[in-house]
Amino acid sequence: MSFDYRKLDLKAGLEVHQQLSSHKLFCNCDSQMLQQPKDEIFRKQRAVAGELGEVDAAALHEILSNKEFHYKVYPEESCLIEADEEPPHEMNRNALEIGLKIALMLNCEIPEEIHVMRKQVIDGSNTSGFQRTAIIGLNGWVDTSFGRVGITDVEIEEDACQIIEKTDKKAVYGLHRLGIPLVEIGTAPDMKLPEQVKEASEKLGMILRSTGCVKRGLGTIRQDVNVSIKKGTRIELKGVQDLSKIPNYVDNEIKRQLDFIKKKKPVPKEVRRVNDAGSDFMRPLTGGARMYPETDIPPISIDDKYLKRLRKQLPELWEEKENRFMKQFKVSKDVVKQLNRMGMSEIFERLVKNGHDPKIVSFTLTSGLTQLKRKENVPIENLIDDHFNNVFSAFKKGKITKDGILSSLKQLANNPKAKIETGETVSDEASLRKKIKEIINKNPQVKNAPRPEQACMGLVMKELRGKADGKLVMKILKEELVK
Ligand SMILES: [Zn+2]
């Protein structure tokens, strides 16, 4: 599927929410979300007239549905603040600093004073009925190969509760996610091609990760894409996990809007959740969020001296790192990009500086580990520097072969306290041929297999366990099996 995007006047923007690696934003609770709940509290919400006397229609709708809100309590991951029984403490300065660095990397202007605001939330996902949020950057930009994309604002805010169960009468939430510091980045609707949206989202992700201070893994980063076309409307798409699918999501939404336009019907303003086939209705698009000042938290002044210091501490940008790696370690741009994308550039640099071969290290950390994870579901996250150092040293000393690197890492990932299994490698062709002949003689049936080399290869590699070079084994097998 592909459209004439220019003719359609496609305008797309992004909103990225990223959890920071720090304790909670307005209390000292831990933000790891590893605990089991110990208790449960429950609340009901009621509508009260706002400052101007009106009652929010959406709030009213929630009230009429007469819902009960239950909250699971996690002893070290929530306290009286998450339960909304104690006012918030001062803002977590470490989280604020990470946020400010992100805003600076996105070329934003930083306000002289940070004001915490309350943004009304009516679905019960915040015990207080609002989310605390503060603007920490404005009017920035990020460059893509299709052109510059404006960053309208960067905010630091508290994450909402995690939904655990939802029925018509009741919603059950976990308090452990409430209050985890989040950075929200909003772009201008400057993107004119689906591929540009994908590139911008990847780039924002890389900038976030280059701080080394953001959480990794499922649910720690959430991306929304907004899409509009001529005669259509602005639709918010939520639930984007796989960035490579962004162009599909955008195309699906264009197609959906074009169907309305063809039937001369207006496109309803809504928030939708993406799936592979298209998207599902989530809720109507509400007007601008209602914001009130958070009177419990005094404004925070940001002086020039502090900003100057932060600018000096900004991490090396990915592009700079790519260029440096290419020059310093003689690896290709694709390899560096992959290392960066997989969050492997730091460990790569440490291992290479320890004297290991850049080509072998980069191949192992990218394709090698991906293969172990995808094909064999090996818990590669167990691997630490020591494991890699030991395996690469064993390779350098000739104790294991190139093929043995991955099988050794697999053993270590499955059993991180184990030592690497090394034996003498069988590197000379004559003794290897002898060994292979023995294996074939022991298993004569393999000669009749549909693909005898492949069948034999499996047997040989199982027996030699990475002590022989795969290519050499294959060469010998081909010669021996022809006989
Ligand atoms: Zn707390």
Rounded to the nearest angstrom, the distance between the alpha carbon of 78 and the centre of ligand 1 is 4
Q: What is the DSSP string of 16-63?
A: EEEEBSSS-SSS-------PPP-EEEEE-------TTS---HHHHHHH
Residues 289 and 336 grouped into a single domain: no
Residues 34 and 98 grouped into a single domain: yes
Residue type, position 383, single letter: L
Residues 228 and 369 grouped into a single domain: no
Rounded to the nearest angstrom, the distance between the alpha carbon of 47 and the centre of ligand 1 is 26
| Phi, psi (rounded to 5 degrees) for 174 | -100, 130
Residues 274 and 397 grouped into a single domain: no
Which residues lie below 8 Å from residue 189, measured CB to CB, with a gap of 6+?
11, 12, 13, 226, 228, 234
Residue type, position 220, single letter: T
Q: Is 362 a member of any domain? A: yes
Residues 408 and 269 grouped into a single domain: no
Q: Is 221 a member of any domain? A: yes
Rounded to the nearest angstrom, the distance between the alpha carbon of 95 and the centre of ligand 1 is 15
C-alpha span between 289 and 284 (Å, rounded): 13
Q: State the sign of the Cα–Cα–Cα–Cα dihedral 182, 245, 187, 230.
A: negative
Which pair of structure tokens corresponds to residue 279?
């998207």
Determine the 3-state secondary structure of 481 from DSSP: helix
Tens-level pLDDT at each residue, the chain (483 residues): 689 999 999 999 999 999 999 999 999 999 988 889 998 998 876 666 555 555 566 666 666 567 789 999 998 999 999 999 999 999 999 999 999 999 999 999 999 999 999 998 878 899 998 999 999 999 999 999 999 999 999 999 999 999 999 988 889 999 999 999 999 999 999 999 999 999 999 999 989 988 889 988 778 999 999 999 999 999 999 989 889 999 999 999 999 999 999 999 999 999 999 998 899 998 887 766 678 899 999 999 999 999 999 999 998 877 788 899 999 999 999 999 888 878 788 899 999 999 999 999 999 999 999 999 999 999 888 888 889 999 999 999 888 888 899 999 999 999 888 776 655 566 677 878 888 888 888 888 888 888 888 888 888 877 776 667 778 888 888 888 876
- How many angstroms from the chain centroid is the CA of residue 277? 22
Residue closest to 37 by CA, chosen among 68, 75, 70, 69: 75
Rounded to the nearest angstrom, the distance between the alpha carbon of 448 and the centre of ligand 1 is 67
**Cβ neighbourhood burial of 234 (10 Å; 0-12, 13-18, 19+):** middle
Q: What is the pLDDT of residue 206?
A: 86
Q: Is 244 a member of any domain? A: yes
**Cβ neighbourhood burial of 43 (10 Å; 0-12, 13-18, 19+):** middle
Residues 188 and 260 grouped into a single domain: yes
Contact 339, 362 (CB under 8 A): yes
How many of the other CB atoms lie within 10 Å of CB of 232? 21
Rounded to the nearest angstrom, the distance between the alpha carbon of 249 and the centre of ligand 1 is 37
| Distance (Å) of CA 199 to CA 202, 206, 292 | 5, 11, 35
Rounded to the nearest angstrom, the distance between the alpha carbon of 165 and the centre of ligand 1 is 22
pLDDT in tens, 272-290: 999 988 999 988 877 666 7
Q: What is the pLDDT of residue 242?
A: 87
Helix (H) or strand (E) holding 242: none
Q: Domain ends where: 414, 443, 467?
A: 414
Q: What is the pLDDT of residue 285?
A: 79
pLDDT in tens, 147-181: 999 999 999 999 999 999 998 888 999 999 999 99
Residues 363 and 469 grouped into a single domain: no
Rounded to the nearest angstrom, the distance between the alpha carbon of 65 and the centre of ligand 1 is 30
| Distance (Å) of CA 394 to CA 370, 388, 401 | 22, 10, 9
Determine the 3-state secondary structure of 83 from DSSP: coil
C-alpha span between 283 and 270 (Å, rounded): 6
Which pair of structure tokens corresponds to residue 337?
């990009």
Residues 69 and 213 grouped into a single domain: yes
Q: Is 299 a member of any domain? A: no
Q: Domain ends where: 237, 258, 293?
A: 293
How many of the other CB atoms lie within 10 Å of CB of 304? 9
Rg (CA), the chain: 28
C-alpha span between 282 and 298 (Å, rounded): 36
Rounded to the nearest angstrom, the distance between the alpha carbon of 178 and the centre of ligand 1 is 8
How many of the other CB atoms lie within 10 Å of CB of 322? 20
Q: State the sign of the Cα–Cα–Cα–Cα dihedral 353, 357, 359, 362.
A: negative
Q: What is the pLDDT of residue 309?
A: 96
Rounded to the nearest angstrom, the distance between the alpha carbon of 175 and the centre of ligand 1 is 9
Residues 393 and 441 grouped into a single domain: no
Q: Is 307 a member of any domain? A: no
Q: Is 422 a member of any domain? A: no
Residues 442 and 344 grouped into a single domain: no
Rounded to the nearest angstrom, the distance between the alpha carbon of 48 and the centre of ligand 1 is 27
Question: 309-319 b/e with 16+ CB inside 10 Å = b?
Answer: ebeeeeeeebe
Helix 194-210, helix 246-262: angle, nearest 10: 140
How many of the other CB atoms lie within 10 Å of CB of 55? 12
| Phi, psi (rounded to 5 degrees) for 124 | 85, 0
| Distance (Å) of CA 149 to CA 205, 213, 346 | 15, 24, 28
C-alpha span between 385 and 31 (Å, rounded): 25
Q: Is 300 a member of any domain? A: no
Helix (H) or strand (E) holding 139: strand 130-144
Q: Is 338 a member of any domain? A: yes
N- to C-terminal Cα separation, the chain: 53
Which pair of structure tokens corresponds to residue 153?
């604002």
Residues 274 and 126 grouped into a single domain: yes
Q: State the sign of the Cα–Cα–Cα–Cα dihedral 141, 144, 272, 265.
A: positive
Residues 240 and 388 grouped into a single domain: no
The range of the structural domain enclosing residue 24 comes to 5-293
How many domains are contained in the chain?
Answer: 3
Q: Domain ends where: 293, 327, 362?
A: 293
Rounded to the nearest angstrom, the distance between the alpha carbon of 81 and the centre of ligand 1 is 5
